[in-house]
Structure 1
Amino acid sequence: MQERGIVTLGRFARIVSDASGKHDVLALLADALAEHVACDAVAVYSLAADGKLRLAAARGEGAAAEIEVDLEDVGELAERVLRACGDDYTGHVQRPLVAGAALYGAVVLLRKRGGEPKLELADGLVDLAAMALGTAAHVEQLERQFAELRAQQEMLARTEKLRALGQMAAGISHDLKNILNPLSLHLQVIAMAMDRGKTDDAKSSIAEMKGTLQRGVQTIERLRDFSRQQKETKGELVDLDALAREAAAIGKARAASGSGRVPRIREELSAPRQVWAIGGEIVSALVNLVVNAIDAMAGAEKAGTITLRSGEDEGGSWIEVSDDGPGMPAEVAKRVFEPFFTTKGQEGTGLGLAMVYATMQRHGGSVTLDTAPDRGTTFRLRLPAASPLSGR
């Protein structure tokens, strides 16, 4: 093959590698053959999914005749094309478009009287086009497989969402039952007390009802906080130490209102760099952790200590809530972030730590737990320097 032919093959290889699909490859092949291999007409046929060869591209007078050939009759293709193109054409050459073990079509070159086409160059162009067709077919197969995989993933995601909704519905049903049953009982007590003129008993039951209703409101608020999506919400630069002090103040008031020994709440804050966050959500998360620590140490022989610490590392800032309480066994620690998992019996909703986890996920951060029986518990909230809530 002459140097010009080699250059032609190189240029065609580059062009065909950028083709967007099978039809583009076949059209480029027809152009190259008509221009470079000294033939008078070119007909390029593509093998369809139904096993028939159909015209995909044609160059030259009469070459665009619509001919359809079954795969088993592919050997007759050139003769049928020659007859359809008229008496001006006296010679023909047929080449298959084959890559690996796959047939993608066929090429027919037509000549008028005299001369021979440049078959070596034609074979090179046909081979390059066939390889491009093989690559395109492989890409199409991968795209189909990817689409099938994505559909399966979406189906699994829908199934998982239904499972999660079922779990949440069961938890809501359980919590509402815990709220409604005491209310019903208190209403009965009030009715009997009023019949007997015992207003003090009625007032006591009313006070109990208020407390029960308040727990119901808190449950609903936590469900809302856990389930809401706030992708559109933008945060602001916040001082973690200020948020920690706010949470500590709320925790101290909560501890003082309870019965039994009051744990000490102290702060070891180190002024870490500011981070992007929704301050109210971080305070709520910290209060949840502080209240959990207070509850964990309730009934202890001596008042314990809850410590809020802050710091920073290479990628962001963090804040910890630690206690020197009883700690958690491994089987409890691995489930604490599950919605509706609680160790507090009917007093617990199992949503507090799940809400903390959801808050940190929404902020692009993380929450980690370090605990063991008789070693206390430490939760660390870590917020990245580059948060999805930064609005940047």
Structure 2
Amino acid sequence: MKHEGTPKGTATPDADGLGPAANPELDPGFGRHRFGGLSSKLLLLTVVFVMIAEVLIYVPSIANFRNTWLMDRLTTAGVAASVLAETNTLAPRLQEELLKTTGAVAIALDQGAQRRLIAMSNVPTQVDFVVDMAEVTPLTSILGSFAILTYRGDGVMRAVAAGQMGHTERVDIVFPVALLQQEMLAFSGRILALSLVISGITAALVYITLRAIFIRPLRRLTRSMEQFAENPEDGSRIIKVSGRRDELGDAEIRLAAMEEALSRALHQKQRLADLGLAVSKINHDLRNLLASAQLFLERLEHVPDPTVNRLAPKILATLDRAVGYTQAVMAYGKAQERAPQRRLIALHRVGEDVADVLGLVDHDTIQFENRIGETLEVDADPEQIFRVLLNLTRNAVQALEAERDGTLVRRISLSAERQANCVHIEVHDTGPGIPENTQRGLFKAFHSGAKAGGVGLGLAIVAELLRAHGGVIELDCDQPGTCFKIQLPDRTT
């Protein structure tokens, strides 16, 4: 559809990116009753199909009418032939009446060796059609009927049939073709009129029935979609299922499910937009606070205390990472992490840094085991692999700290080994494990399997960072507790 001010061949999307067909306000003809609508097409097709059926009925009917008409005339002539056979003569008045009744111009009786004239008004000059009723078949009847209907002229036709007195006698009549043609045309007119009446009644009944069964429910679906499109977030606009047990009922159920899913998705989208705005505001202020904390730590580095001198650089490095994360959040716009800047790093040292940040070195209840070999090197982005192990270990710490039973073993272990050009890493804890109902969407954003109050971004971030490295992560359900297995390949040259 071409809109005013729109170049030909250019689509004009609406605010949601949909075309005119998806937005009724942009389509002036949307929802109007048009002659080409389903209702009009249904009515027209019903009339056409009924007329086709009537034509199929008309063809054998007109042939049967011709044969019946001819047999009536031949029967009347056969009665006269019987009288002639008895009296050997036929009165002139009876001959005239016989010709008038049959419409014939000549009637004869063929007795094999002898041919006798029963009655005659005019001598026929040329016979255009000859019909022997003993040799008539359905096909010849149909073809002969249409030949008579399309005949143009003033000729005569001859009809022959067995007489009334025996098989050796044959009645022979000759009559104008126009007489039978007029009768057949009159019969055709009656058939046509009757067909029109039947077509009208049938079409009306079929139209009313199908309109009630199909057209109205389809319009109800259309109105429901229009109302829902006006405000998809309004759950009250979702179509109410009528309970029909047919295809339209299935369509209603599918439409209701789709609208409900779309409404939920839009609700979640709005919540995420609000969350993103809130995170941006909090992150802006948090970055300033972290900068102030860095200044204070830089002053503490000059304090002559061994503990301060040992911990201050680690805290400062952690604050540097936090400031880097806040800057990344403020620059966030493409919904993806930056490309990895891969280097050869000592994975054992990364594990030690994670333990220091989470306070696992001197933890009261949780035992931390770094089983990664000190000589194992991994080709990865240092900051991103640190975040991967930090998120996984933090989740394990939260799961173990939530347990109140003092007899439980609380242990987190990191292990890794190299196989060819791929490093296999395991993060294993002795916690309660992840419930089966949350495992399916475990690595999707906002599908938290951690403690109550978690946002559900940690594992999604881990999966995204590993995908950027060409690696994968999976949950090993065969081991007790929670065990995540990571495959991190070296970069390809």
State the TM-score, normalizing by the size of structure 2. Answer: 0.33
Q: Could you say which structure has the larger radius of gyration?
A: 2
As a proportion of its length, which structure holds more strand? 1
State the TM-score, normalizing by the size of structure 1. Answer: 0.40
Higher relative CO (Cα under 8 Å, sequence separation at least 6) belongs to 1
